Amino acid sequence: MIDIRTGDCFELIKDLPDNSVDLVITSPPYADIVNYGKNISIKKSDEYVDWLLPLFNEIHRVLKPTGSFILNINDNCEGGYRNTFIYELIYRNSKETPLKLYDTYYWVKKAGIPNGSKKRFRNMTEYIFHFCKDAKQMRFYMDRVLEEPAESYLDRLKSPINNDNEIIDGVRERKKVVWVRRTSMKVDEDGVKDPDLVQRIVPDKVRPDNVFYFKSANAARDNTIRHPAPYHKELPTYFINLLTDEGDVVLDVFSGIGTTGLGCNDRNYIGFELNEKYAEFSKKRLSGNIDKEYVINQYDLEDNFIRSWKTITEIENTLGFDSHNHIEDCIRKGNKTSYGFQWKLEEQRI
């Protein structure tokens, strides 16, 4: 089921029954940064928490006891300093709503946006906050997201370890190590029992870190409409897989162009969107009427096609360009040229 509802999410959510949603996952409009379309008011950082927090109470109401709320959000800088409204939001949530902060994750964007300050690093990260009603009842399928062990981790398992109980002449003795996968043997490589042998079990899979390397939407744009959010489908797809089952209800209260819905597969998706243009586009997108791959096409000044690129970062790294924004302005704002070429976001050539 795909259910896109046009209107104010603060009002639309009141129509949902108590304990009816398995996962709420969203990325709200960022404070005082970008334009989300006509009639969409952008809240400044000093009013952002008062604006957003009432929605948290409603999210708690509609969530099932087994459910989760995933919030992707980022802060900004103002007057040369980093704003702290994100921390205020998390703190006030703990005091003013029943939602519990379960964990904090970090999204490292594979293609960040540079800034003009010579005294500030490139902004490559965003916050992902995980809330729930009840941690004991919350569903969490770790087995679905286990990863292959990193080579560095396997190398550490092979190395000798300290024997904390034996220091001879000021030197700490080191025990031998055998590298095994699944065995109960207490012998060395020759099959001889060795009381000093340290046995380690090498896991087939390991738990992920709390740092995620998702793409950003402007790094892999898969739509023809201009939407300012960097939110890419990899992010919601990951958490939908981690936290829900087939047939569950997934809600995005700031649905935008329906990116969360792309990851729902056999789940039921509800999206709230105030911008009518975005809502209509997302309906077509999620119904399969828009199923095209888009790339950045490079043309010379006489409009002759040169080649296609997947991302602006790929262009920069290959051609040695150093201004992400110039090419992005050609794609998003329709600027004529950059670096002596035309750059257009178009359907992939076959």
Per-residue pLDDT reduced to its tens digit, 52-94: 999 999 999 999 999 999 999 998 888 888 899 999 999 999 9
227 shares its domain with 334: no
The pLDDT, as a whole number, for residue 25 is: 98
Percent of the chain with pLDDT strictly greater than 90? 40
Quick: pLDDT tens for 282-298: 888 888 765 456 678 88
| Residue 231 predicted with pLDDT over 60 | yes
58 shares its domain with 42: yes
Q: How far apart are CA 283 and CA 221, in angstroms?
A: 18
Supply angle C-alpha 168, 170, 173, rounded to 5.
50
- Choose one of 270, 287, 304: the last residue of a domain: 287
Instruction: Calculate the average pLDDT of the chain.
Output: 80
26 shares its domain with 89: yes
Contact predicate 115/123, CB 8 Å: yes
140 shares its domain with 77: yes
Q: How far apart are CA 294 and CA 206, in angstroms?
A: 35
Q: How confident is the model at residue 343 (pLDDT cuts 50, 70, 90)?
A: confident
Contact predicate 139/70, CB 8 Å: no
In the predicted model, what is the mean pLDDT of residues 218-236? 61
DSSP H helical ranges for the chain: 9-12, 45-62, 85-96, 151-158, 234-243, 259-262, 276-287, 312-319, 324-333
Residue 332's DSSP bridge partners are none
89 shares its domain with 23: yes
250 shares its domain with 174: no
> What is 166-220 written as a DSSP string?
EEETTEEEEE-EEEESS----B-TTS-B-TTPEEEEPPSSBPPPSEE----TTTS
167 shares its domain with 53: no
35 shares its domain with 118: yes
Which of the residue ranges 155-164, 188-197, 258-267, 312-321 would you say has the lowest mean pLDDT? 155-164
Which value, in Å, is the radius of gyration of the alpha carbons in the chain? 25
82 phi, psi to nearest 5 deg: -80, 130
Quick: pLDDT tens for 168-216: 555 555 555 444 444 444 555 666 665 555 555 666 788 899 999 887 7
Domain span at 299: 294-347
Contact predicate 32/45, CB 8 Å: yes
- Choose one of 180, 201, 222: the last residue of a domain: 201
226 phi, psi to nearest 5 deg: -90, 110
Which H/E stretch holds residue 25? strand 21-26
In the predicted model, what is the mean pLDDT of residues 220-229? 48
The pLDDT, as a whole number, for residue 184 is: 45
Burial class (CB within 10 angstroms; exposed 0-12, middle 13-18, buried 19+) of 326? middle
Give CA 216 to chain center in angstroms: 8
The pLDDT, as a whole number, for residue 319 is: 85
CB atoms within 10 A of CB 314: 13
| Residue 330 predicted with pLDDT over 90 | no
Q: CATH number, domain at 339?
A: 1.10.10
The interaxial angle of helices 312-319 and 324-333, nearest 10 deg, is 140
250 shares its domain with 135: yes
Q: How many folded domains does the chain comprise?
A: 3
The pLDDT, as a whole number, for residue 219 is: 40
Residue that wins the pLDDT comparison between 230 and 108 = 108
Residue that wins the pLDDT comparison between 259 and 217 = 259
Q: How far apart are CA 318 and CA 311, in angstroms?
A: 11
257 shares its domain with 161: no
The pLDDT, as a whole number, for residue 223 is: 46
As given in the structure block, the two tokens for residue 179 are 């590298």
Contact predicate 33/83, CB 8 Å: no
Percent of the chain with pLDDT strictly greater than 70? 71
